Amino acid sequence: MGPSLGLAIDAENVCLWLNGSKGPVEILKKVNLRVRAGEYVAIVGPSGSGKTMFLSAVAGLEKITSGGLKVFGKTPVPEDPKIGFAMSRDALLPWRTARGNVELSLEALGVPASERRMRAEQALAQVDLLAYADVYRAQLSQGMRQRVALARTLVTNPSLLLLDEPFAALDAQTRILMQERLMKLLGSYEGTVFLVTHDISEAILLADRVIVFSHRPASIAKEIQIPLPRPRSAVHSRSTPEFQKIYEEIWSQLSREFTAEDL
């Protein structure tokens, strides 16, 4: 039993370099982060700072250059059934129905056909889209596509849910409704959530702790605990003074991380 026991993510001095067109580029510089199993953590940071790269490393899709990275005590590998990864582009297959898209995650795990169908329908019911099980991507609104994508990620009941700007493609109002829906869904979820977002309110609503990444090469510029009581409401919580105070604190750090290039 190692020191990583009880940790979903254990990142120690994680450094990551990529080969750019003009030679090696430093992306992550000594990222130190421990996420307890069951904890909800959100990352905000300037565009291009390395948030997606860090998430990809956690998902085993990107190799770190140096340092240590463990997920549930092990070096991450791609296609780990314990990990569910949802991105901002819904990436639904257009030639499959909503149900077919949700079943895809179960096919990858070798779940038998009859069980796949049942579980896919349960997952679609959770996002209120059971009536759309036989509908193709082209006939779904962007918000519905995101809900199918969420069902596809949750259907395997992953222990670690990685969300990379899951609602970035949605308009501001639909996004708030999706945040509300996600929080309701997570009410019956026992795993860990690791969210990357540009939306500070989304980070505060969802997370127990918000991490601010510095500009590239990214390290952790600040960590902010979110002591707001749960359940929180995407519609109502944002207008409270406590919420506003945390928002200002995060924004003041984040705005310091923008470089001349960003402005």
Ligand X SMILES: Nc1ncnc2c1ncn2[C@@H]1O[C@H](COP(=O)(O)OP(=O)(O)OP(=O)(O)O)[C@@H](O)[C@H]1O
The CB-of-89 to Mg ion minimum distance in angstroms stands at: 11
Nearer to ligand X, 119 or 216 (CB): 216
215 contacts which partner out of ligand X, Mg ion, none, CB within 5 to 8 A by kind? none
The CB-of-244 to ligand X minimum distance in angstroms stands at: 24
Task: Judge contact between 106 and 156, C-beta under 8 A.
Answer: yes
Nearer to Mg ion, 96 or 198 (CB): 198
Q: What DSSP character marks residue 214?
A: P
Which residue type occupies 64?
Answer: I
50 contacts which partner out of ligand X, Mg ion, none, CB within 5 to 8 A by kind? ligand X
Nearer to ligand X, 45 or 158 (CB): 45
Q: What residues make contact with Mg ion under the rule CB under 5 A? A: 52
Residues of this chain, 10-69, that bind ligand X according to CB under 6 A: 18-20, 25, 27, 45, 47-53
C-alpha closest to that of 35 among 6, 57, 8? 8
The CB-of-32 to ligand X minimum distance in angstroms stands at: 18
Residues of this chain, 206-235, that bind ligand X according to CB under 6 A: 216
Backbone angles phi, psi at 51, to 5 degrees: -65, -50
The Cα–Cα gap between 162 and 56 comes to 9
The CB-of-165 to Mg ion minimum distance in angstroms stands at: 6
The Cα–Cα gap between 49 and 10 comes to 20
Nearer to Mg ion, 52 or 214 (CB): 52
Residue for token pair 């222990």? 159
Q: How far is residue 109 from each of residues 99, 115, 238, 241, 263, measured CA to CA in Å?
A: 16, 12, 39, 46, 45
Half-sphere exposure of 123 (CA within 13 A, CB side): 27
Nearer to Mg ion, 43 or 127 (CB): 43
The CB-of-87 to Mg ion minimum distance in angstroms stands at: 9
Beta bridge partner(s), residue 212: 44, 222
216 contacts which partner out of Mg ion, ligand X, none, CB within 5 to 8 A by kind? ligand X
CB-CB neighbours of 134 under 10 Å = 10
The CB-of-31 to ligand X minimum distance in angstroms stands at: 12
Q: What DSSP character marks residue 258?
A: -
Provide the binding-site residues for ligand X, judged by CB under 6 A.
18-20, 25, 27, 45, 47-53, 216
